[in-house]
Structure 1
């Protein structure tokens, strides 16, 4: 991984995740790109049209404010020794960063979530959820983060029929960087989508083999709903990170339906990593 993206609106909430973004940049020897998306000013019904000179002056002041915000971030102790680049992206939506050729080589997005409302009241409001939904690279969401991310227990929740080939290299990098934390594979079985154990166990075993995960625990959990099942399991196993897959704007298939990944990122007390998925089915049996 060569580049980590860190969207910021310069608020205290968005800065909470910066020390961990810097930690990961050092761990992966990656550049940290600080990105601010600035919406163009909106004209209101009775606002007089500004003169060209006034509009230019307003734009200059805004640019100066953003430049000062970036400079304040650069001076933070956590960024010392990190290669940092700053970017101002014009647009009405934070997902603009996903379409910029400048960021085509990025390998991870790091963002902050805090407060009882989770993503709804954080970084860029509902835009944080949009990044989870639309990003084609891993997204790490940190809720009330400490200054250092210590991974000792990781829960990987899935139905194990999806393909993670595009992002599993990053997962291996992450696990290697933290000296192989304990990895728990979790399948949550519900009444609405029940799968017998003689099917789920081969799926999980094939998943371990396909992605060379080594020694892991494999758990099939019976719950009424997926989200609380994952959260309870993660809390019981003192997980430092929950890993989930997402199919993007089509939502999540199979085990993780609808906005489950976003809801878990919203409600989890620990870090949540979402991974973009492919649709090729994983073999159900080992050969």
Structure 2
């Protein structure tokens, strides 16, 4: 990973995500890109009011400069991006493409990353992008040097080489191995293992079949019972992960611990 983008709106959850993003950048020896997107004030053309765009931009840019200098950047290279726009997801994805971003780190306000996915937000739109790995971090999560990385595998081909490499790199830095799991209504571990080892070296993961009639329940149970710290998923059409993103399931999260979600492009 050479370029890491971190989004901030100067809130407490964004500041928390910034600190973690910088820690990851140090671990990966990556360049930091700090992004703030602000909405332009609505101006009534019928009223004689003057809108000072440059003055407004300068204020935001100054806040962004102060934010980057409060972070433990050290000798890492960094760049700040202050953008005006209506759609935060669109602006963020534009920067990702322009700067060849390898990982986008974003904080969120839900009690868990999955909860926010179900109720809809800017975070949801970004997590469902098809191009960039995204790490969504809840405010309550405490980052650690070593963590358990769970990978929800849907027993389908992993054709995106960049996504596979991102998963392997992240796991090599923070987890002893990739804790892959598949949710099914019967134990099909041998079949799933045969598929998965075509894409990830067998010595880098262990595989579990979580037997459950309900995929959502299976994911929640595995992550909770196995004390996982990060959940990695690949959202794609017509898979159990796709159904996970489009089913209202917020009531379950009262019993679910808040952990980061790492989404990888299909």
Task: Report the TM-score range of the alignment, normalised by the length of the smaller protein.
Answer: 0.7 to 0.9
| 8 Å CA contact 2:25, 2:32 repeated in 1 | yes
* 261 and 14 in structure 1: CA distance in 2 versus 1, 3 angstrom threshold: farther
Q: Unaligned stretches of 5+ in structure 2?
A: none
Select between 96-105 and 72-81 the one with higher mean Cα deviation: 96-105
How many pairs align?
Answer: 258
Which residue pairs with 1:237 in the alignment? 226
Contact 2:88 2:122 (8 Å CA) reproduced:
yes
**Separation (CA, whole Å) in 1 of partners of 2:153 and 2:246:** 11
Give the Å deviation of 1:273.
Answer: 0.5
Judging changes above 3 Å, is the alpha-carbon distance between structure 1 residues 85 and 201 closer, same or farther for their aligned structure 2 residues?
Answer: same
- Is 1:253 the counterpart of 2:238 in the alignment? yes
Q: Deviations over 1:172-203 (max 9, x none)?
A: 2112223x42422111125xxxxx645x5323
The answer to whether residue 168 in structure 2 is matched with residue 172 in structure 1 is yes
CA, structure 1 residues 212+264, in 2 after alignment: closer, same or farther (shift >3 Å)? farther
Distance 2:199 2:97 in 1: 33
Post-superposition CA distance 1:182-233 (Å, at most 9, x none) = 422111125xxxxx645x5323322124221415332212224222321221
Say which SS state the counterpart of residue 166 (structure 1) adopts: helix
Q: Who is 2:65 aligned against?
A: 71
- Tell me how far apart the structure 2 counterparts of residues 263 and 118 of structure 1 sit (CA, whole Å): 14
Q: Secondary structure of the equivalent of 1:79?
A: coil
Q: Which has the larger radius of gyration?
A: 1
Residues 230-284 of structure 1 deviation map (CA, whole Å, 9 limit, x = unaligned): 122111111111110013xxxx43221335399899865112100111xxxxxxx
Secondary structure of the equivalent of 2:66? helix
Verify the 8 A CA contact 2:113 2:136 in the aligned structure 1.
Answer: no
- 8 Å Cα contact 1:7-1:111 kept in structure 2: yes
CA distance in 1, matches of 2:247, 2:38: 24
* Cα distance change on mapping 1:8 and 1:135 into 2, 3 Å: farther
How big is each residue's C-alpha offset from its partner over 1:49-82, in whole Å with a ceiling of 9 and x where there is no partner? 53xxx32xx2133112212211221222433333
TM-score w.r.t. the length of structure 2 is 0.84
1:113 deviates by: 2.1
Out of 58, 83, 87, the residue aligned to residue 93 of structure 1 is 87
The residue aligned with 1:281 is none
Q: Which residue of 1 aligns with 2:27?
A: 27
2:108 corresponds to: 113
User: By how many angstroms is 1:28 displaced?
Assistant: 1.0
Which sections of structure 1, spanning at least 5 residues, go unmatched?
191-195, 278-287
Q: Once superposed, what is the RMSD of the aligned Cα atoms? A: 3.0
- For the pair 1:144 / 2:139, whether they are aligned, the reply is yes
SS of the aligned residue for 2:47 comes to coil
Q: 1:120 to 1:9 in 2, by over 3 A?
A: farther
**CA 1:261 to 1:268, structure 2 compared with 1: closer, same or farther past 3 Å?**
farther
Q: How many Å separate the matches in 2 of 1:206 and 1:119?
A: 27
Q: Secondary structure at the match of 2:207?
A: strand
